[in-house]
Every structure is written in C-alpha cells, then in structure tokens.
Structure 1
Amino acid sequence: MIDILLTNDDGYSSIGFYPLLRELRRRYTVCGIAPDTQRSWVGKSLTAHADIEFEKVAVEGLPVFAVNGTPADCVQVGLFHVLDQKPMMAVSGINIGENVGRSLILSSGTVGAAMEAAIDGIRSVAFSLYIPPEYEEEIDFFDAENFHIFQRAAMIACKIVDILMRPGVISSFDLISVNIPFEAGTDTEYEITVPFKNAYGQVFHRSGTAYRMRSPLVSFENAAAGTDIHALAQGKVSVSPISLDLVVPQSTMRILDEQLREHW
C-alpha cells in the first residue's frame, strides 16, 4: 500500500517538489504524480474537454508520473489509474509562494489538489512557502541547483505529516493549508489559524489590446490576529484546518428562511 500521494501545481520539475519527495520517502512509500508543466491558479478545476495523458519520468533518479493536466487531474489519475488502493494521505506542494487568505486558497492549484483528495475521503495537507519579493526575480524555481532553498520547508512539512500520521490524531477537518516562512526551520513556532478574508482587487491589466493577469500582492499590514497571514507576518508556520462542508450556521439559515417566507 502507498502511504502518500504527492502532487503540486508548479510541475514535477519545480524546486519545491523534489525536496519534499525525498524527505517523505525517507519514512513512507510515496507515489509522486504532478503536472508536466506549471499549472498555478487553476484551483480545483478538472480537465473536461481534452484528453489526459501521463507518463513515468524521473526527478533526480526518483520515478514520478507527469500528467498533462491540472493538479486535481493528477489526484484523479493517481487515485483511480495508478494506485491499486487509496493512500493514507495526500500531500500537495511545496508551492512556490504563499497561499494565505480565502482568495488565494480558493484559486490555488496546490490547495485545489488537496481539496480533490479530501472530497474522496483522504486526509490531505497542502504546503506553501512564502518567497520574499526581493528573491522572486533572483531565483530560478526550475533549476535543480536550487533544491536546497526548499530543504528546510520540506523538513517542516515532513514533521507535520509525521504528526498527522500518528494514530488517534484529530481528523474532523477535510484538509490543512500550511504556510511556511522563508527562513523557518523545524524549531520555528507554529500557530493554528483561520484564512483571512481578503479580496483580490484588480487582477487583469491591459497589455496592448488585451488584458493579462498579474498576481495580486498580499499585504501583511493590519493583519488580524489569529489569521494565516498574521502568523506568517510574525514568522510562524501557519496551520489552517479547512472544512469543505460549504454550509452556514443554522441560525443564518433560519433568518434567511424567515426573510424568504415573509416576501415569497
């Protein structure tokens, strides 16, 4: 039986994938299956109008599967066409950049892959590493010589996976979104958080006669205590348990029912 299904949204050749694959394989049996190219910002989308294909490739000598689809496609392919049994856990990451706040979480392919696995009843966790702006233009995130940049984050991720794998650990959540500070180590403090409620603002900007997406900047100023972005700003590892129930409190449902009934 495979212990862990590992995927991401930056592609199997990104420098966030191999360090985590290597660390997890020290303790677990791991099936690595990831997009064949970068598939960021696709959320939990599944490919509906094109053929999905996958092939076995190698990353630093370790076999993985490359899929010409989304991160959620990778989970589907892994669960139903590669593995004979469901894994104990699905792990997604390590994402290049943070996934904090509800807007980024709902758009993230890294978190989307974890959501896809969670829908099939598999305990899932998504890992993201905050990259300071001054490093974003300097680092080639697809150069194997830069694997070391994600090594500490991979060790943190593996530490969290170890804890979640322990018998009796609480499981009344669908998935966990973990955001790791750039300089964090295995002794860095963590905080249980909730996603902060943010809005993108404008994401499409004119480029000639067309409009092109520009990733919105995340502001760490005036972040509310207890939120993922506040913990990250404080240099802590943010651990956000997430439910996919998509429901509101019963009190809200009753009030809405009363208002509809009054004017129906």
Structure 2
Amino acid sequence: MENIHRPTIMVTNDDGIDAPGLRALVRVLVSTDRYNVQVCAPDSEKSAVSHCITWRHPISAKRVHIDGATAFAACGTPADCASLGISKALFPTISDLVVSGINMGSNCGYHIIYSGTVAGAREAFFNGVPSVSISYDWVGGKSNVHDYTLAAEACLPIISAIVDEIRNQNYPHRCFLNIDLPTDVANHKGYKLTKQGTSIFRMGWRQVTSDMQGEKMASTMTMESNSEASAETQTSPILPENPLFRREVISIEHGDNDTDHRILQEGYITVTPLGALSPAEKDSHVFFQNWLPSVVAHPSSSSL
C-alpha cells in the first residue's frame, strides 16, 4: 500500500534500453526508495533522431527486467516511448515526472534540435507532463561508465525538488528542463541556470567504402543514424552510381559566453529551461514586417 503514495517517475532515453546511462539513472532512482519507477525506452539506439515519431505502423513493446522498476523496450523512437509511457496504454497511471537520459554526450546549443533525448522530454511536455532531459558530456579516454552513476546522483536534488514542486502545484507548466553534466562530474563546480546557445558542430560529408562503416565520429554528440538505417546502408552495393557518404565534423562553433555549452565546459552542471516554440529574433521579425507588404504590392519579375 505504501507505493500508492509515492510519486511516479517514468524514464526514457535515445541510447536504448540497455544503455549504461539509463541503467545508472534507474538504479539511483530506485535506491532512494522514494519513487515508483517506470521505464519505456527504445529497444535499440535511436540517437539524433530528433522528434521523429512512428505514425503509420504500430510499435511493439516487450517487458524487460530491471531491478526495482517496471520496464518495457519499445521498437519506436524516444518521442514514441515517452508518448506511450504516459498514455495509460502501457502503464495504469500517468507518471508525475518524465526523465529522459542519461545521454552519452552533451546536448547543448543547436544539438538540442537533433537530440532524441531532449525529444523524449519534449514529448512529455507536449502532453502536459513535467519533464527533464539529462545528458553527460562523455569524452573518450577521460570518461568511464561509473560517471553515469555520479551524474545521476548529482541530478537527484533537482529531481527531488521538481517532484516536491509538482506535489505542491507550484511547478511551471510552460517549460521543461534540459540538464547537462560536465565530463569531470565528480568535481563539478555546482549548478547554473543557463539559456540555450548557438554552439554547433559544423558537419560535412565524405565518401566512404564498406569497410569504413563502423567508424565513429570524433565528437561528444553521437550523430550516428539509427540502427535500421545503418543496416540498410551496409547492405547497399558499392557501385559508381550508388556511392556511400558519411558525416564528419568540420569545425566547432561555441556561441556566446553565457550559454549552456560554454558554462558546461567551465565545469558546471547546466540547467536550461526550454519551450516548444522557436520564435525568430526580433530583428528578423522587423525585417519581414516591412518586407512582406512590399512583396505583395510589387511582385518581382522572377515570380512572373
């Protein structure tokens, strides 16, 4: 009977049901003995699928054993899993909070648009359920699997405070939170409220051969295509009229000094409120406010 009074947290991610970041997060949440923990996550990696949803076909969900939690692996995207998990079709009740993560790699700046992890939280937000996305700035050669546990533990005060605000009906409903944890999470400098910046990995393409398919890009954000698309690519014949191309990092642009990526690199845990809408900058709106009437009044010769 005591579980009836516990808040329910639903966990999803984009790295897949077996990802160490998700498992560490669930393990830490369960260890508090404060929450009912539900899991609905993709059955395979779905990194960088953004807010893609499955529309035309049904998706399957398979029960998975995770100690202390009720868990399912679904053959959908992170947004699918979040939506299914809070729909009452999979679980008997709607969770109080959705937590998406912990992602392998940071999600700051423009990468928020690509991120399946952020999309999992955004989908819950679309449906009126408070949500948080969590990412750890994994760096090869410096990070290890135990860092996910440290990251989860570092997020517990925020998660606990959110649940309290929800219980007291004080939590704002017009945003969701995106949290990024620094590489040296054991020695983080504290928590800072930030805003989404404009940092981005500029991407290019290069032609590859079949034996290069397994290569990883050297960036903290995994920009691999999903497993189904990769499988299709690998079976494609290498013909002159059917070449293979792979993304690669050309440069990194960091954006402003007071935004999420820069502050994360300084060693802080960044907490960034996000919304569903992406309004243009004011100067752009002013330009088009003057431009549109002139277009209508004087159509250009190119449009004739």
How would you bin the TM-score normalised by the shorter chain? 0.7 to 0.9
Corresponding residue for residue 142 of structure 1:
none
* Residues 212 and 254 of structure 1: CA distance in aligned 2, closer, same or farther (over 3 Å): closer
Matched to 1:236, the amino acid is: Y
Distance 2:197 2:191 in 1: 17
TM-score calculated relative to the size of structure 1: 0.85
Is 1:212 matched up with 2:235?
no
Higher mean C-alpha deviation, range 48-57 or range 124-133? 48-57
8 Å CA contact 1:46, 1:70 repeated in 2: yes
Corresponding residue for residue 143 of structure 1:
none
Is 1:67 matched up with 2:74?
yes
**Root mean square deviation, CA, Å:** 2.5
Corresponding residue for residue 180 of structure 1:
181
Is 1:10 matched up with 2:18?
no
Unmatched tracts of structure 2, length 5 or more: 210-242, 297-304
* Residues 222 and 75 of structure 1: CA distance in aligned 2, closer, same or farther (over 3 Å): closer
Could you report, residue by residue, the CA deviation over 1:206-261 in whole angstroms, capped at 9, with x for unpaired residues? 113211234x4884x86532111111111000111111123347786465233212
Aligned-residue offset at 1:62: 4.2
Aligned-residue offset at 1:84: 3.1
Match of residue 119, structure 2, among 112, 121, 131:
112
Aligned-residue offset at 1:165: 1.8
8 Å CA contact 1:159, 1:186 repeated in 2: no
Matched ranges for 1:1-264 at <5 A: 3-25=8-30, 26=32, 27-60=34-67, 62-80=69-87, 81-102=89-110, 104-135=111-142, 146=145, 148-167=146-165, 169-171=170-172, 173-185=174-186, 188-208=189-209, 209-214=243-248, 216=249, 219=252, 224-248=256-280, 253=285, 255-264=287-296
Unmatched tracts of structure 1, length 5 or more: 140-145
* Residues 225 and 65 of structure 1: CA distance in aligned 2, closer, same or farther (over 3 Å): same
Matched to 2:11, the amino acid is: L
Distance 2:170 2:181 in 1: 21
Matched to 2:94, the amino acid is: K
3-state SS of the aligned residue for 2:183? coil
8 Å CA contact 2:37, 2:69 repeated in 1: no
* Residues 203 and 134 of structure 1: CA distance in aligned 2, closer, same or farther (over 3 Å): farther
- The structure having more radius of gyration, on CA atoms, is 2
Distance 1:205 1:117 in 2: 37
8 Å CA contact 1:92, 1:110 repeated in 2: yes
* Residues 258 and 35 of structure 1: CA distance in aligned 2, closer, same or farther (over 3 Å): same
Tell me the matched-pair count.
252
Could you report, residue by residue, the CA deviation over 1:107-145 in whole angstroms, capped at 9, with x for unpaired residues? 111001111111111111100001123247xx6xxxxxx
8 Å CA contact 2:13, 2:117 repeated in 1: yes
Corresponding residue for residue 227 of structure 2:
none
Distance 1:171 1:110 in 2: 21
Matched to 1:51, the amino acid is: P
Aligned-residue offset at 1:63: 3.7
3-state SS of the aligned residue for 2:103? strand
Could you report, residue by residue, the CA deviation over 1:48-75 in whole angstroms, capped at 9, with x for unpaired residues? 3443000111135744100011111101
Distance 1:218 1:150 in 2: 27
* Residues 159 and 61 of structure 1: CA distance in aligned 2, closer, same or farther (over 3 Å): closer
Distance 2:136 2:103 in 1: 6
Distance 1:8 1:31 in 2: 12
